[in-house]
Chain A
Amino acid sequence: MSAQAEVLQQAFTLGYTYTRTTGPVVGRFLTALRDRKIVGIKGSDGKVIVPPMEYDPVTAEELSEFVDLPDTGVVKTWAWVKHPRGKHLLDKPFAWAQIQIDGSDIPMIHMVDAGDESKMSTGMKVKVRWADETKGFITDIACFEPA
């Protein structure tokens, strides 16, 4: 009987570089962020969706009716992060929240910097804190803060 062969293992890392084109709808949303503005889009059922979708979630039709929105909104629900990790974008405790931008119907997920969990509540009003430098990324909205 021969000895059983050792089963070898090796870690390996694989990485490539790619490009993405945003298209006319998401591209417009991101371009507006760069100008410190928020745009949504109107769906077939009349609901305003932000960030905008290219295609109607109900009928699949192409959407094109953009709606200019303010940079204020309402917290619909939230979860407090007591101990932010290195990858989190805020280095102090904050809330992940579903925020319904005023004039829109479908909430979006972003962060709220309220300082303390006791300052957070469902239904609270918030406004955008813009990044110092805007680039056309979703992080142009640095976070929301109590309004």
Chain B
Amino acid sequence: MAELAAVVGIGQTKYQTKHKTVSIAGLVRDAALKALQDAELTWDDIDAVIVGKAPDMFEGMIMPELYLTDALGCNGKPMLRVHTAGSVGGSTAIVAASYVQSGMFKRILTVTYEKQSESNAMWALSNAQPFSVHLNAGAGGFFAPIIREYMRRTKAPSDAGIKVAVKDRLHGARNPLAHLQLPNITMKEVEESPMLWEPLRFLESCPSSDGACAMVIANEELAAQSPKKPAWIRGAAMRSEPTMYAGREEVSPQAGIDCAKDVYAQAGISNPRKDLDCAEVYVPFSWYEPMWLENLGFAEKGEGWKLTLEGATSLDDKGDIPWNCSGGVLCSNPIGASGMIRFAEAARQVRGDAGNHQVDGAKLALGHAYGGGAQFYAMWVVGSEKA
């Protein structure tokens, strides 16, 4: 990459079940304005806007980029939209960063959102197609068999998933923006919550949230002038694979492994557990933490659940590699924004600006998103220093 790029502003709405008083434009605008304020900039300082959201069918809004032009100050500026299902928040950030790294634009506003209260994501993500049996599974039904296969292969005890559900909610209780606020949640409470898709219980699943997340990404020269500490983008990568190929390895997809290798190589990371200070990883269902611990190289194959149960990923257990200090997707899930929230929360950590869920002295953090049928991957590593 030709130019260095850094995150110089971050804005997030509060995540909640329903934002009743604002239009979709108003919701997206709120995050965008907060990112500008964080960067101490105005609309005039932005060269281009790059927006991402989950598939059109989720909210029934075709061409949101068209509808959002005035709300995002795009008058007279380039406006682009990125699509990659649930990973879109991550890939949107990477597309924005790459335009800065290429020298095409100097400073970009990038925004993602979802207003799940106005949408129909649950069913729209497994729509009927001609000549096929209708799966009609929703996300949980799609991922549960893959999780069962992980449990069969690794002989992981069932409380590993419960532990993640508790741990991420305790993290979320430190983050005032998190949707679910469950500071008193217990293993027992999770275990006794209704079984939705064996082995996933209600409290092992993400909520449906309204919310938006925005970042301002600037080149090296402008980032150096920013009033708050920049988060330098040290590596970024995306990978895809064909969802419908039945011969695909779904428990630890090759695209995820390759994407992680690529981003670590760019950032000079040889041992992710040791070299990174924390990670924000897309875990919409509890068991995806141990699965991604292995897929992303934090644990040996078959050992991910052990890190979880040992508390290695927990702030409260003073683990060496805290995952999802913000509470993660298990606390807030405005789908289109969820990937970008991971990327932005990684940046908050290395800016030393993560409030009560800050990892002390965090210098290097991973942001991760996945989407489709665990088919699209987007990751970046951000650092407090340029190199």
Contacts and interface: CB of A to CB of B under 8 A. Distances in A.
A55 B131 CA distance: 46
B22 A21 contact: yes
B193 interface: no
Contacts of B118: 18-21
Nearest to A56: B70
Nearest to B117: A19
Contacts of A26: 23
A22 B115 CA distance: 13
Nearest to A55: B70
A16 B43 CA distance: 36
A20 B117 CA distance: 9
Interface string A34-70: 0000000000000000000111111110100000000
B71 interface: yes
Interface in B29-50: 29, 43
A58 B25 CA distance: 16
Contact of B60 (A16, A21, A25): A16
Interface string B34-74: 00000000010000000000000101100000000011111
Given A19-B118, A60-B72, A54 B25 contact: yes
Contacts of B124: 16
Contacts of B131: 8, 10
Interface residues of B, number: 31
Given A22-B23, A23-B25, A12 B129 contact: yes
B119 interface: yes
Contacts of B127: 14
Contacts of B176: none
B128 interface: yes
B60 A18 contact: yes
Contacts of B130: 10-12
Most B CB contacts (10 A, CB to CB) among A16, A55, A60 go to A60
A12 B128 contact: yes
Contacts of B128: 12, 14
Contact of B20 (A17, A21, A25, A55): A21
Given A12-B129, A14-B127, A21-B118, A60 B22 contact: no
A26 B19 CA distance: 16
Nearest to A62: B29
A55 B29 contact: yes
A66 to B, nearest CB: 16
Contact of B59 (A18, A57, A60): A18
Interface in A65-110: none
A56 B44 CA distance: 14
A30 to B, nearest CB: 12
Interface in B128-181: 128-131
Given A23-B23, A24-B22, A54-B71, A18 B119 contact: yes
A10 B73 CA distance: 43
Contacts of B117: 19
B120 interface: yes
A57 B70 contact: yes
B21 interface: yes
Contacts of B70: 53-57, 60
A26 B67 CA distance: 13
B129 A17 contact: no
Given A12-B130, A16-B57, A58-B75, A23 B119 contact: no
A57 B119 contact: no
Nearest to B57: A16
A21 B26 CA distance: 10
A54 B43 CA distance: 16
A105 B258 CA distance: 57
Given A16-B123, A55-B25, A60-B75, 15 more contacts: A12-B129, A18-B59, A18-B118, A18-B119, A19-B117, A19-B118, A21-B118, A23-B22, A23-B23, A23-B26, A26-B23, A54-B25, A54-B71, A55-B71, A59-B43
Interface of A: 8, 10-12, 14, 16-26, 53-60, 62
